[in-house]
A and B are shown apart, each in its own frame.
Chain A
């Protein structure tokens, strides 16, 4: 059962890293600026999922705080970028 969980964890890490690569492609390719912001937002979410996966694999609760911080920072950065794209300034 340990082997099963190890294989599944490796598979999940591979999938999440692949998802991050796909987001990266959209981030580099995106025809408009809002595409890039959307890709960056998804990249933050994938990074948070990766932190959670690391927490499960190393059986440590420290990674939970990483995930929390990444989710928080991602939200703030996405909202700031969206506001900037809409208005040309963030705080008016």
Chain B
């Protein structure tokens, strides 16, 4: 079972509980966005809130809880938050580049070009493919 001290003070329990509720709801909303949004380019924005706000709330709650519980400064969760802040944009950028590259290679239309007339945008994407391919092979 859970090992929470029985005489935990409300000054610790209430902020930790608020941060945990906030973090879990935000995590759920982010993944719901991942599931519900229609295009990949919109879907990639869903987990961003999970990574920043959700993980941030959980890490803050953990820091607060262990600092008060052990009566010393426990801030090694900052390592995880710094690591996530460094790596999440890299992953997102690589995935976006992958998606754009694959969509261009397959001649698939990007959702942001939809309002244009279909014939013109189709020609544009094939022209882009022809431009991009040698670049990709030379680089």
Take A37-B95, A72-B83 as given contacts and tell me if A61 and B66 are in contact as well, using a CB distance cutoff of 8 Å.
Answer: yes
Chain B residues whose CB sits within 8 angstroms of the CB of A37 once the complex forms? 95, 98
Bound form: Cα–Cα A39–B30 in Å: 11
Report if B91 contacts A (CB, 8 A): yes
Min C-beta distance of B127 to chain A, whole Å:
21
Residue count of chain B within 8 Å CB distance of chain A: 57
Shortest distance from the beta carbon of B50 to any chain A beta carbon, whole Å: 6
Q: Assess whether B3 is interfacial by the CB under 8 Å rule.
A: yes
Given contacts A6-B4, A64-B77, A79-B91, contact A34 B99 (CB under 8 A): yes
- Which residue of chain A is the closest to B22 with respect to CB atoms? A12
Chain A contact residues, majority secondary structure: helix
Pick the contact of A49 from B23, B79, B90 — CB < 8 Å?
Answer: B23
Task: Name 25 A/B residue pairs within 8 A (Cβ), A-sorted.
Answer: A2-B5, A6-B2, A6-B4, A11-B24, A12-B20, A12-B58, A15-B28, A19-B28, A19-B31, A22-B31, A33-B102, A38-B43, A41-B91, A46-B31, A48-B80, A52-B59, A55-B62, A56-B65, A60-B3, A64-B62, A64-B80, A71-B83, A72-B83, A78-B91, A86-B101
**Residues of B bordering A, CB below 8 Å:** 2-6, 8-10, 13-14, 16-17, 20-21, 23-25, 27-28, 30-32, 34-35, 40, 43-44, 46-47, 50-51, 54-55, 58-59, 61-62, 65-66, 69, 74, 76-77, 79-80, 83-84, 87, 90-91, 94-95, 97-99, 101-102
